[in-house]
């Protein structure tokens, strides 16, 4: 009888231990993603210009493979003294007018990935870009083609999910405010 109870207790501990490990991984990855979004916003607010180059903004990007994400720096193509104020205008092709330089790339833990099948506002799909334009920062979202989302889109959400089904929704809204919640 004692052996049966001991086996049951150890079985429950193992099951809850695996669930706990999964939760820790999803929360750790979500915190790392949020940190990258906030870092790109912070770089835009401080108007950080590495090596004296004029930077028109910073942003966050989820890559096509569903595992990696980047902090992006936006530099004006052509005349470096040209103003950057058109970077967030609707109809402006961001990839046509600006050079996108990768500041850093990170990857999610094994077993976690971005949900690339979800639909964003305006039926936009992931992967997408978040752009912070200094100094406010103004925030814009745009797709792989370089076209800015409709100006009515003031928030975008994406999901980090594990192989075992745990999900965390991360939302980025006006002014770069980031919220998260288990889904």
pLDDT score of 133 more than 90: no
pLDDT score of 121 more than 60: no
Contact 167, 161 (CB under 8 A): yes
pLDDT at site 92: 66
Q: Give the number of domains in the chain.
A: 1
CB atoms within 10 A of CB 118: 13
Domain range for residue 146? Answer: 2-182
Nearest in space to 114 (alpha carbons), one of 160, 58, 47: 160
CA dist., res. 83 & res. 120, Å (int): 30
Q: Please classify residue 75 by burial: count the beta carbons closer than 10 Å to its beta carbon, then call 0-12 exposed, 13-18 middle and 19+ buried.
A: middle
More confident residue, 110 or 34: 34
Starting at the earlier edge strand, list the strands of the sheet with 138-143. 98-107, 68-76, 55-62, 128-133, 138-143
Nearest in space to 153 (alpha carbons), one of 170, 167, 139: 139
What beta strand segments (E) does 8-166 contain? 55-62, 68-76, 98-107, 112-114, 128-133, 138-143, 156-162
Instruction: List phi, psi (to 5°) of 90.
Output: -60, 140
Which of the listed ranges 18-27, 61-70, 73-82, 95-104 does the model predict with the highest average pLDDT?
A: 61-70
The reported pTM is 0.81
Instruction: List phi, psi (to 5°) of 65.
Output: -75, -10
CA dist., res. 134 & res. 48, Å (int): 10
């Amino acid at each position: 009888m004692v052996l049966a109870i001991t086996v049951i207790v150890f079985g429950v501990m193992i099951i809850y231990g695996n669930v706990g490990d999964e939760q820790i991984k999803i929360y750790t990855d979500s915190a790392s993603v949020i940190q990258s979004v906030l870092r790109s916003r912070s770089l835009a607010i401080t108007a950080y210009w590495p090596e004296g180059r004029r930077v028109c903004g910073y942003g966050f990007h989820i890559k096509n493979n569903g595992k990696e994400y980047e902090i992006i720096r936006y530099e004006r193509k052509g005349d470096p003294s040209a103003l950057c104020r058109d970077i967030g205008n609707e109809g402006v092709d961001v990839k046509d007018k600006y050079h996108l330089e990768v500041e850093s790339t990170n990857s999610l833990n094994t077993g976690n990935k971005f949900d690339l099948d979800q639909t964003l506002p305006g039926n936009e799909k992931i992967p997408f870009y978040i752009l912070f334009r200094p100094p406010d920062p103004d925030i814009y979202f745009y797709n792989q083609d370089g076209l800015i989302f409709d100006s009515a889109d003031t928030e975008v959400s994406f999901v980090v999910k594990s192989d075992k089904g745990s999900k965390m929704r991360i939302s980025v809204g006006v002014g770069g405010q980031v919220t998260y919640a288990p889904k």
